[in-house]
């Protein structure tokens, strides 16, 4: 075996200081020192809470993008809506040409997000008066912002995928309002800067995730914040118009008006949580109406500190459905394991595709390298 | 005939399929258990694929997996997931194809593999009965199929033509099974001889309730006379006939072994040999009692060696007596003469001679071979109470006599010879046994002369591998020792690795039948015997309870009367 580990060790040695500062994040300036000092006041121990009796559901999705010969991609997405001993599943397949303009990865992400939101909105009535866990953020503005950047890079014939996704999200928000569904998004990553902005009153480089990961200890949760849909640095109207302009769909006028109507509902109450010592930080989002907040117009651009008690029902659900280090939320864990697209599933799908279409579709070496998967 | 038990399939074939094995996916509520029999219908039998047959297969493996309940989970995590949630496991079964039955009654493997997606069904009892026992009208019933109480398995008696080995570890039920085979062979009219070192078969005349069995009159038990109490008394087994061992026919080596003179004690052996030779010169017929008296006489004589050296040829009793008296007179006179034995040498031989004389097995009652080979007779030679060498001598002499008859064509009917604890009679790895040679000869040539062996052993590793490999059929029960499994693997051409892997998992009374006794290897649950079982396991708990009670009863009760005024402290011991 080549002596890669020796080379690895040499390389690490030469980068020791850099790694140390990266993994032991210390304040770099006065602002950050202040943040480190202040953030502990926004980190709260878990209160004693009765277990929640409200039904729980979880949505998760999985996708595989198969590169096939001739520069064709097949995007397979499957989504699951998992309850206790009940589930609904959906699958969608899209095939497209790979060209220079196409951002395959991003299309893939939007495709999956669309199906996840769709399965939730399609089954709203069946899951009325429940908590619905979603893997990921509920804060739509950054999503729209990033989609606006890539809307032009969707594959030919699938340019409207971001619009479809937004449509599905808005339907889910409407369904949650209509059927009393409390949406809870749990993200393992977050690039938000809400707490520094709130505490320093200006934009900084450090993220919420870094602050809570490196400068707080033990289990607990952060003081919740109400974040309006306009809170991102870019002007909301520009983000929206950029996004819609990039889309060819005739539906965009309708979506635009729905977006405006739903704006107050798109405010999010968010907080960070660490379930146990040594675990990582998760971001939890819920739509403001889910915790009884109706956003006023002037709050759409603001960040407001909320009373921790408003999220106690959510905390109760999160804590009672927390399994442990590997299982931060039991239903999401189950949904994830049920929905995940394994290599063998991809082979089954590809075989079915070949048989149903009678087309000689073969995988490209882009995916398989020297392997023999068919 | 119904082929399938239920019209609904219990699974569908998935994955890569071989002609001899396939996997199927199933569900918890319909999942067939391991070893259950399945049918795959309409498989092309011939190369051309014209003839379609129903193929029998047996579930050899079940794998249950859960995508959700992975091994990385902690107890708390698993409990949290399971609260109100019941994840559905995925069950994949593997089945070994046993084949299909041809119109001629043979079993063949299909030339085509079943296809993924084909349904698999539970085989019906009728289908299984037909498959395993069709045209075996004159069969030996030994039990039913594992998992199917309603399907009796009949073994083909012709399968015994190339001998049978019954192999199982202690406690797995091999003697019980052998007893059942004996019963059913006897009912078919067989002549059977059983060498029984542990009195496992002496109760065959009686039912467990103590009544006579239907074949009671055909069973004869032969025993050596013993003063000591036996495990099963004559009264308990319904009587026995006596047989003894002729001491004068033994070779010196036999006598050393029976007297337990270690092979390194060469002087004692040499002196005893000389004494025996002296006796043989006197008379061809002598007993250990004669030997004892002879040694005692010479021990008293101071000139014993010199006089004996003069004995060149056979002398009369009167002459010997006169010589002995003369020797005694000389001894009393204190005269020294040349002697082959010192007093010390005789003193050292004497305990072994005494030991030989104390055994009650000597006499001149031979086993009645003509009775043993008479039709429809089960002769149980109870070897219990004999030393190993004596057992070997009995087995050797009996089998040689039978073999002589067989070879000369004087054996009128087939004789089945059951040899319990066979590893002690035909040991492997160069260990000596007096009877190994004749047993191996029967194993090699017996089928030509109507003598068929059934060797029963709990240590196949220790038995002579040639003997074991001569057995064309095997009935194997629970076997966990890897050395024993290896021995079975080496000796049997019929056993597959998957069957070997099954052996440790068999329950008491379950067995795999291989070889010519059946069309295909079959796993059975041994049926019920009519006769009582000797040598059954001791119920230790019951024995301990009895011992404890006896102990309490025999404990003296001491009562002490208080003395004087010391009322507070008195009366306690």
Name, in order, each residue with C-beta under 8 angstroms of B310's C-beta and a sequence gap of 6 or more. Answer: none
Q: Render B155-218 in DSSP notation, one character per residue.
A: E-GGGGGG-EEEE--TTSSHHHHHHHHHHHHHHTT-EEEEEETT-SSTTTTB-TTSPBPTTGGG
Out of A339-343, A364-368, B253-257, B487-491, least confident range? A364-368
A204: pLDDT strictly greater than 60: yes
Pairwise pLDDT comparison (A327 vs B569), residue with the higher score: A327
Distance CA A312, CA A317 (A): 9
- Token readout for B70 is 């992975």
Name chain B contacts of A334, Cβ cutoff 8 Å. 68, 81, 85, 87
Q: What is residue B136's predicted lDDT score, i.e. its pLDDT?
A: 64
When comparing pLDDT for B306 and B261, which is higher? B261
Q: Cβ of B429: how many Cβ atoms within 10 Å?
A: 9
Q: What is the mean pLDDT of residues A92-115?
A: 92
Sorting pLDDT into bands at 50, 70 and 90, what band is B326?
low
Confirm if B387 and B362 have CB atoms less than 8 A apart: no
Average pLDDT for residues B350-359, to the nearest whole number?
89
Q: What are phi and psi of B40, to 5 degrees?
A: -110, 125
pLDDT at B84: 65
Cα B325 to Cα B558: distance, rounded to the nearest angstrom:
62
B90-101 vs B21-26, strand pairing mode: antiparallel
* Nearest alpha-carbon partner for B470 in B493, B437, B498: B493
B157 falls in which pLDDT band (50, 70, 90)?
confident
CB atoms B84 and A337 under 8 Å: no
Dihedral of CA atoms A146, A151, A153, A157 in degrees, nearest 10, equals: 150
CB atoms within 10 A of CB B299: 16
Residue B334 binned pLDDT confidence (cut-offs 50, 70, 90):
very low
Q: What distance lies between CA A54 and its chain's CA centroid? A: 23
pLDDT value, residue B135: 67
Average pLDDT for residues B457-466, to the nearest whole number? 92
Is the pLDDT at B167 greater than 60, yes or no? yes
Range in A192-201, A247-256, A308-317, B433-442 with the lowest mean pLDDT: A247-256
Which has the higher per-residue pLDDT, B326 or B85?
B85
Nearest to B76 among A323, A331, A334 (CB): A323
Q: What is the pLDDT at residue B298?
A: 82
Distance between CA B538 and CA B245 in Å, rounded?
31
The residue of B25, B65, B68 whose CB has the most chain A CBs within 10 angstroms, and thus the best one to mutate to test that interface, is B68
- As a whole number of angstroms, the distance between CA A266 and CA A288 comes to 7
Following CA atoms B23, B24, B27, B31 in sequence, which dihedral angle do they give, to the nearest 10 degrees?
Answer: -80
Are A323 and B81 an interchain contact pair (Cβ–Cβ within 8 Å)? yes
Alpha carbon of A6: minimum distance to chain B alpha carbons (Å)? 31
pLDDT of residue B335: 43
DSSP per residue over B512-562, as a string?
Answer: EEEETTSSS-EEEEE---SSPPSSPPP-HHHHHHHHHHHHHHHSPP-----
B570, pLDDT greater than 50: no
Pairing of strands B219-223, B21-26: unpaired
Mean pLDDT calculated for residue range B328-346 = 59
CA-nearest residue of chain B to A84? B85
SS3 content of chain B, % helix, strand, coil (to 5): 35, 20, 45
* pLDDT of res. A247: 80
**Residue matched to tokens 């669309």:** A114
Q: Which residue has the higher pLDDT, B430 or B192?
A: B192
pLDDT (0 to 100) of residue A83: 92
d(CA B64, CA B86): 15
Burial class (CB in 10 A: 0-12, 13-18, 19+), A162: buried
The three-point CA angle B473-B477-B480 to 5° equals: 120
Q: Is B84 in Cβ contact with A85 (below 8 Å)?
A: yes
Q: What is the pLDDT of residue A182?
A: 96
Is pLDDT larger for residue B413 or for residue B500? B413
Average pLDDT over residues A284-312: 88
Sort out which chain B residues have CB atoms less than 8 A from A322's CB and list them. 80
Flag whether residue A87 sits within 8 Å of chain B, measured between CB atoms.
no
Residue B230, pLDDT score: 83
CA B89 to chain centre: 44
On the question of pLDDT at B559 being above 60, the answer is no
* 3 state SS for B289-301: HHHHHHHHHHHHC
More confident residue, B565 or B223: B223
Q: What is the pLDDT of residue B212?
A: 93
Helices and strands in chain A: count of H runs, count of E runs:
14, 11
Contacts of B325 (CB under 8 A, 6+ apart): none
Q: Which chain A residues are closer than 8 Å to B77 by Cβ?
A: 323-327
Are the CB atoms for A170 and A262 separated by under 8 Å? yes
SS3 B152: strand
pLDDT in tens, B40-52: 998 887 766 568 8
Give the residue with greater pLDDT, B523 vs B86. B523
A 320-339 residues with CB below 8 A of B?
321-327, 330-331, 333-334, 337-338
Interface test with B, best of A78, A318, A330 (most B CBs within 10 A): A330
Distant-in-sequence, close-in-space partners of B399: CB < 8 Å, separation ≥ 6: B417, B435, B438, B439, B442
The separation between the first and the last C-alpha atoms of chain A, rounded to the nearest angstrom, is 29
Give the DSSP per-residue string, B316-375.
-HHHHHHHHHHHHHHHHHT-----SS-HHHHHHHHHHHHHHHH-S-BSS----HHHHTSS
Phi, psi of A152 (to 5 degrees): -70, -15
Q: A175, A120 in Cβ contact below 8 A?
A: yes
DSSP-based three-state secondary structure for B99 = strand
CA angle A47, A50, A53 (to 5 degrees): 135
Under a CB-based contact definition with an 8 Å cutoff, are residues B222 and B381 in contact?
yes
Percent of chain A topping pLDDT 70: 97
- Range ranked top by mean pLDDT from A236-240, B73-77, B270-274: B270-274
Distance CA(B180)–CA(B475), nearest Å, equals 13
**What's the pTM?**
0.69
**Which two tokens mark B179?**
């007893």
Other CB atoms within 10 Å distance of the CB of residue A363:
19
What ipTM score was computed for the predicted complex, to two decimals? 0.72
Taking the CA of residue A341 and the nearest CA in chain B, the distance in Å comes to 12
Cβ pair B100, B55 in contact under 8 A: yes
Give me Rg for the CA atoms of chain B. 33
Question: Averaged over B421-439, what is the pLDDT?
Answer: 91
By CB atoms closer than 10 A (0-12, 13-18, 19+), residue A309 is exposed
For residue B273, is it left (φ>0), alpha (ψ between -120 and 50) or beta?
alpha
pLDDT band of residue B424 (cuts 50, 70, 90) is very high
Report d(CA A282, CA B529) in Å as an integer.
69
| Predicted pLDDT of residue B304 | 44
CB B426 within 8 A of CB B464: yes
What pLDDT score does A114 carry? Answer: 96
Of the two residues A276 and A366, the one the predictor is more confident about is: A276
Residue B220 near residue B201 (C-beta atoms within 8 A): no
Could you give phi then psi for residue B378, rounded to 5 degrees? -115, 110
**Chain A contact present for B319, CB below 8 A:** no
**Where residue B6 falls among pLDDT bands split at 50, 70, 90?**
confident
B516 near B473, Cβ under 8 Å?
yes
Mean pLDDT, chain B, rounded, equals 84
Give bridge partners of residue B522 from the DSSP assignment: B513
CA distance B469 to B472: 7
Considering only residues 170 to 229 of chain A, which have any Cβ-Cβ distance to chain B shorter than 8 Å? none
Q: How sure is the predictor about B563, in pLDDT bands with cuts at 50, 70 and 90?
A: very low
Return the residue in A130, A327, A342 with the most chain B beta carbons within 10 A, the one to mutate for interface testing: A327
Q: Is the pLDDT of residue B573 over 50?
A: no
In this complex, which of A324, A337, A338 lies closest to B77 when CB atoms are compared?
A324
Closest-approach residue (CA) in chain B for A327: B77
Rounded average pLDDT over A88-106: 92
Do A276 and A325 form a contact (C-beta atoms < 8 A)?
yes
Chain B hits for A89, CB-CB cut-off 8 Å, are none
Name the residue facing B77 among A84, A327, A337 (closest C-beta). A327
Higher pLDDT, B567 or B424: B424
Query: Closest chain A residue to B84 measured between Cα atoms?
Result: A84
Comparing CA positions, the residue from A357, A361, A374, A332 lying closest to residue A133 is A332
Q: What is the mean pLDDT of residues A154-181?
A: 92
User: What angle separates helix B388-407 from helix B436-445, to the nearest 10 degrees?
Assistant: 40
Answer whether B68 touches A (CB < 8 Å).
yes
- Tell me the nearest-neighbour CA distance from B94 into chain A, angstroms: 19
Over 70: is that where the pLDDT of B320 sits? no
pLDDT at A230: 73
Contact B80 A323 (CB under 8 A): yes
The pLDDT of residue A57 is 95
Task: Tokens 């031989």: give the residue.
Answer: B349
Tell me whether B16 touches chain A (CB under 8 Å).
no
pLDDT in tens, B111-130: 889 999 999 999 999 999 88
Task: Find the radius of gyration of the CA atoms of chain A.
Answer: 22
- DSSP annotation string for B472-510: SEEEE-----HHHHHHHHHH-SS--HHHHHHGGGPPTTE
Predicted local distance difference test score (pLDDT) of residue B571: 32
Torsion over CA: B207, B210, B214, B217 (sign): positive
Rounded (5°) CA angle B171-B174-B180: 130
**Spatial contact of B361 and B383, defined as CB atoms under 8 Å apart:** no
Contact A321 B80 (CB under 8 A): yes
Is the pLDDT assigned to residue B218 strictly greater than 80?
Answer: yes
- Strands of B241-242's sheet in order across: B148-155, B140-145, B522-526, B510-515, B473-476, B164-167, B451-457, B415-419, B191-196, B378-382, B219-223, B241-242
Distance (Å) from the alpha carbon of A329 to chain B's nearest alpha carbon: 9
Min Cα distance A291 → chain B (Å) is 26
């Amino acid at each position: 075996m080549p002596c890669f580990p020796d080379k690895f060790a040499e390389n690490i040695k030469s980068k020791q200081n850099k790694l140390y500062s990266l993994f032991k994040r210390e304040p770099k300036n006065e602002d950050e020192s202040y943040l480190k000092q202040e953030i502990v006041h926004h980190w709260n121990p878990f209160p004693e809470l009765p277990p929640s009796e409200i039904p729980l559901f979880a949505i998760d999705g999985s996708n595989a993008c198969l590169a096939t010969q001739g520069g064709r991609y097949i995007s397979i997405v499957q989504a699951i809506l998992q309850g206790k001993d009940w589930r609904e599943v959906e699958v969608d397949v899209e095939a497209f040409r790979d060209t220079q303009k196409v951002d395959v990865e991003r299309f893939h992400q939007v495709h999956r997000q669309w199906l996840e939101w769709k399965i939730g909105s399609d089954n709203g009535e069946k899951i009325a008066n429940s908590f619905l866990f979603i893997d990921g953020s509920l804060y739509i503005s950054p999503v729209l912002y990033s989609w606006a950047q890539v809307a032009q890079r969707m594959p030919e014939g699938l340019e409207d995928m971001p619009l479809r996704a937004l449509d599905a999200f808005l339907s889910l928000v409407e369904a949650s309002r209509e059927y009393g569904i409390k949406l809870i998004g749990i993200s393992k990553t977050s690039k938000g800067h809400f707490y520094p902005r709130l505490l320093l009153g200006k934009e900084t480089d450090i993220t919420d995730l870094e602050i809570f990961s490196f400068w707080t200890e033990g289990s607990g949760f952060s003081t919740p914040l109400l974040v309006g849909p306009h809170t991102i640095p870019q002007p909301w109207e520009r983000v929206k118009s950029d996004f819609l302009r990039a889309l060819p769909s005739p539906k965009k006028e309708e979506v635009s008006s729905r977006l405006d109507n739903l704006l107050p509902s798109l405010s999010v109450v968010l907080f960070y949580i660490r379930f146990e010592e040594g675990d990582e930080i998760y971001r939890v989002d819920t739509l403001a109406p889910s915790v009884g907040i109706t956003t006023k117009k002037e709050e759409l651009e603001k960040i407001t500190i909320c009373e921790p008690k408003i999220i106690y029902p959510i905390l109760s659900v999160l804590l009672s459905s927390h399994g442990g280090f590997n299982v931060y939320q039991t239903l999401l864990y189950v949904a994830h394991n049920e929905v995940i697209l394994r290599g063998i599933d991809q082979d089954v799908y590809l075989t079915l595709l070949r048989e149903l279409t009678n087309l000689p579709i073969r995988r490209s070496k882009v995916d398989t390298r020297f392997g023999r998967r068919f | 005939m119904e082929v399938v038990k239920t019209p609904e399939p219990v699974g569908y074939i998935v994955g890569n399929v071989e002609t001899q094995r396939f996997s199927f996916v199933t569900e918890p509520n319909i999942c067939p258990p391991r070893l259950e029999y399945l049918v795959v219908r309409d498989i092309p039998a011939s190369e051309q694929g014209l003839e379609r047959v129903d193929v029998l297969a047996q579930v050899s493996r079940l794998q249950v997996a859960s995508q959700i309940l992975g091994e990385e989970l902690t107890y708390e995590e698993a409990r949290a997931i399971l609260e109100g949630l019941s994840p559905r496991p995925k069950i994949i079964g593997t089945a070994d194809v046993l084949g299909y039955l041809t119109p001629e009654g043979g079993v063949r493997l299909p030339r085509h593999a079943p296809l993924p997606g084909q349904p698999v069904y539970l085989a019906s009892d009728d289908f299984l009965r037909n498959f395993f026992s069709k045209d075996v009208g004159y069969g030996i019933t030994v039990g039913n199929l594992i998992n199917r109480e309603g399907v009796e398995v009949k073994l083909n008696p012709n399968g015994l033509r190339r001998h049978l080995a019954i192999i199982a570890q202690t406690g797995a039920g091999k003697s019980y099974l052998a007893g059942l085979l004996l019963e059913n062979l006897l009912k078919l009219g067989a002549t059977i001889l059983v060498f029984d070192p542990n009195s496992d078969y002496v109760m065959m005349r009686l039912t467990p309730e103590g009544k006579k069995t239907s074949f009671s009159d055909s069973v004869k038990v032969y025993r050596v006379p013993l003063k000591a109490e036996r495990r099963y008394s004559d009264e308990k087994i319904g009587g026995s006939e006596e047989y003894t061992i002729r001491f004068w026919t033994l070779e010196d080596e036999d006598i050393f072994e029976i007297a337990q003179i270690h092979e390194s004690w060469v002087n004692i052996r040499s002196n005893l040999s000389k004494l025996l030779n002296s006796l043989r010169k006197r008379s061809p017929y002598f007993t250990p009692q004669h030997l004892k008296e002879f040694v005692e006489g010479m021990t008293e004589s101071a000139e014993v060696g010199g006089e004996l050296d003069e004995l060149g040829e056979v002398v009369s009793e009167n002459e010997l007596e006169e010589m002995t008296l003369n020797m005694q007179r000389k001894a009393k006179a204190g005269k020294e003469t040349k002697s082959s034995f010192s007093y010390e040498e005789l003193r050292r031989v004497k305990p072994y001679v005494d030991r030989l004389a104390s055994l009650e097995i000597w006499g001149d009652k031979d086993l009645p071979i003509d009775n043993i080979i008479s039709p429809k007779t089960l002769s149980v030679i109870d070897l219990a109470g004999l030393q190993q060498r004596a057992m070997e001598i009995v087995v050797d002499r009996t089998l040689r006599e039978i073999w002589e008859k067989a070879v000369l064509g004087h054996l009128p009917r087939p004789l089945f010879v059951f040899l319990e604890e066979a590893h002690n009679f035909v040991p492997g790895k160069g260990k000596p046994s007096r009877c190994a040679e004749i047993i191996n000869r029967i194993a090699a040539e017996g089928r030509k002369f109507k003598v068929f062996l059934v060797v029963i052993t709990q240590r196949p590793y220790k038995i002579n591998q040639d003997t074991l490999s001569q057995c064309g059929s095997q009935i194997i029960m629970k076997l966990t020792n890897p050395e024993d499994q290896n021995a079975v693997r080496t000796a049997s051409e019929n056993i597959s690795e998957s069957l070997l892997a099954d052996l440790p998992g068999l329950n008491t009374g379950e067995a795999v039948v291989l070889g010519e006794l059946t069309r295909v290897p079959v796993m059975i649950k041994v049926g019920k015997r009519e006769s009582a079982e000797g040598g059954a396991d001791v119920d230790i708990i019951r024995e301990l309870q009895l011992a404890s009670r006896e102990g309490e009863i025999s404990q003296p009760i001491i009562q002490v009367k208080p003395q004087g005024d010391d009322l507070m402290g008195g009366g306690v011991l």
